[in-house]
């Protein structure tokens, strides 16, 4: 069995760029918790995920927001100038919640991380052992990020996503169904919310 890998952020900034993801007519940005909205200018933030019968319903609640920019405005040459109070998604990176078939949320790694890619390049395909204690991430923030996805799955019939491309709310269930049908031909069986 290979030795577990270690991970330490090298502050390369790759994770601070290419933040917008677009697939099948849906564009989404970096997720933000409601208490993190004030870290960015108002015109940089849009709703992300909500729960309720309809976005027009008085009881509709936005449970997360999203940044609409492709690159973080707080990233400057030499690093992040708000590193000490950056969003939970940044603090827990490269750990990300992923929806597996069967609507189960699992912790996985974002493989766009250069440091992580370099560490696992020489491992055979399959599971890569990782020592949680050797990860230079703030693991206590991951549950906050995962809770958004778990809440959407719990209230699936009333879960909504705000599509940055169209500027409209879309039932989260429709996005999930489209992704699952696409995954039936995929080998990894995971869905990024």
**Cα 55 to Cα 29, 61, 177, distances in angstroms:** 19, 8, 20
| Terminal alpha carbon distance of the chain | 32
Residue 44 vs residues 29, 55, 60, 83: alpha-carbon distances, Å: 10, 21, 22, 18
Q: What is the pLDDT of residues 60-96, one digit of tens each?
A: 999 999 999 999 999 988 788 898 899 999 988 888 8
The whole domain housing 160 covers 5-191
Has residue 162 got a pLDDT over 50?
A: yes
pTM value? 0.83
Instruction: Output the DSSP codes for 107-173.
Output: EEE-TT-HHHHHHHTTSPSS---EEEEEE-S-GGGHHHHHHHHHHHHHTGGGEEEEETTTTEEEEHH
- The total of structural domains in the chain comes to 1
Question: Would you state the pLDDT for residue 131?
Answer: 58
Percent of the chain with pLDDT over 70: 80
Rounded distance between C-alpha atoms, residue 174 and residue 138, angstroms: 32
- Dihedral of the CA atoms 192, 97, 4, 83 (nearest 10)? 110
User: Could you tell me how many residues make up the chain?
Assistant: 193
């Amino acid at each position: 069995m290979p030795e577990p890998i270690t991970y330490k952020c090298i502050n390369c900034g790759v994770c601070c760029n290419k933040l917008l993801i677009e697939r099948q007519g849906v564009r989404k940005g970096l997720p933000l918790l409601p208490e993190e909205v004030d870290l960015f200018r108002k015109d940089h933030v849009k709703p992300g995920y909500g729960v309720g019968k309809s976005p027009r319903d008085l009881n509709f609640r936005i449970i997360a927001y999203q940044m609409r920019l492709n690159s973080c405005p707080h990233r400057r040459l030499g690093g992040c100038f708000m590193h000490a109070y950056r969003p939970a998604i940044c603090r827990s990176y490269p750990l990300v919640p992923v929806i597996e078939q069967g609507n189960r949320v699992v912790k996985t790694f974002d493989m766009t991380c250069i440091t992580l890619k370099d560490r696992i390049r020489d491992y055979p395909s399959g599971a890569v052992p990782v020592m949680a204690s050797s990860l230079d991430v703030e693991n206590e923030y991951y549950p906050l990020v995962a809770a958004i996805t778990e809440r959407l799955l719990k209230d699936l019939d009333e879960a909504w996503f705000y599509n940055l491309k169209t500027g409209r709310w879309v039932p989260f269930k429709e996005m999930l169904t489209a992704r699952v049908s696409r995954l039936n031909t995929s080998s990894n069986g995971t869905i990024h919310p």
